[in-house]
């Protein structure tokens, strides 16, 4: 089931890329693995996803100890409390959800202590929703211009979670805004920045995201099926 779902997503990704005149190889599939156990994560890796995205530190640590992510990079994509930064820095390939300055500073400190450089994305609150974390466009511009203050963090791009959308095309204006912002940042050629990754698009809107320049979609439901929030495991 999982393998079949992934094959279907891959062909939809490819069609969306080609329709947009893009090379399908430019777009990575990140499996949002929350609430799926190690064996299901392994199944997804075997079926050829590009990376795993985990939301909760406890779940990450547990599944990592079970060897769940062997053969694929693992990213942190959830809200990260500063008191848990120690467990994540150096343990994941990419922290996608850097959503506030205090968190960035904390990651910098921890990476310095561990003498490593942590790859990160900045999370943008693109629709300026009260309920969501993330920086404003202006804040992202500002941080991008002073990444030399964070020498143990390597800024690889942007991540966004736009409003839930069931109608095709609804989130395109947000995706396009993010892509333009990324182009603006890249044009400045700052120290410590690569900006190759635009992590946007989920189960309901990944084709639109690809049309608007996404280089990494994060997909949970379409791979693993609906999550059962009543189940405790």
The residues of the shown chain that bind ligand PLP, judged by CB under 6 A, are 32, 34, 55, 77-78, 161, 202-203, 218-222
Q: Which is nearer to ligand PLP, 150 or 224 (CB)?
A: 224
Residue 5 or 190 with smaller CB distance to ligand PLP: 5
> Min. distance of Cβ 132 from ligand PLP in angstroms?
10
Q: Which residue is nearest to ligand PLP (CB)?
A: 220
Least distance to ligand PLP, CB of residue 216, Å: 10
CB closer to ligand PLP, 58 vs 221 = 221
Nearest residue (CB) to ligand PLP, 42 versus 75:
75
Least distance in angstroms from the C-beta of 218 to ligand PLP: 4
Q: Is 192 left (phi over 0), alpha (psi -120 to 50) or beta?
A: left
Of 144 and 222, the one with the shorter C-beta distance to ligand PLP is 222
Distance from C-alpha of 153 to C-alpha of 135, rounded to nearest angstrom: 17
> In whole angstroms, how close is the CB of 1 to ligand PLP at the nearest point?
15
**For residues 157 and 220, which CB has a smaller minimum distance to ligand PLP in the complex?**
220
């Amino acid at each position: 089931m999982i393998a079949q779902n992934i094959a279907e997503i891959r062909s939809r990704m490819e069609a969306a890329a080609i329709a947009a005149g893009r090379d399908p190889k430019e777009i990575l599939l990140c499996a949002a693995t929350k609430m799926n156990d190690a064996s299901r994560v392994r199944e997804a890796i075997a079926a050829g996803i590009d990376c795993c995205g985990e939301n909760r530190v406890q779940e990450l640590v547990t599944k990592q100890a079970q060897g769940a992510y062997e053969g694929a990079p693992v990213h942190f994509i959830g809200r990260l409390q500063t008191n848990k930064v120690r467990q994540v820095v150096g343990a994941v390939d990419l922290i996608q959800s850097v959503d506030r300055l205090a968190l960035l500073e904390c990651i910098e400190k921890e990476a310095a202590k561990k003498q490593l450089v942590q790859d990160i994305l900045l999370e943008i609150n693109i629709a300026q929703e009260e309920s969501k974390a993330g920086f404003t466009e202006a804040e992202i511009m500002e941080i991008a211009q002073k990444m030399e203050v964070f020498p143990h963090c390597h800024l690889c791009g942007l991540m966004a979670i736009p409003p839930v959308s069931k109608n095709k095309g609804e989130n395109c204006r947000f995706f396009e805004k993010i892509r333009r912002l990324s182009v603006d940042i890249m044009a400045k050629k700052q120290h410590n920045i690569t900006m190759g990754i635009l992590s946007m698009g989920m189960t309901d809107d990944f084709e639109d995201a690809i049309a608007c320049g996404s280089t990494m979609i994060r997909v949970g439901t379409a791979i693993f099926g609906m999550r059962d929030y009543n189940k405790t495991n």
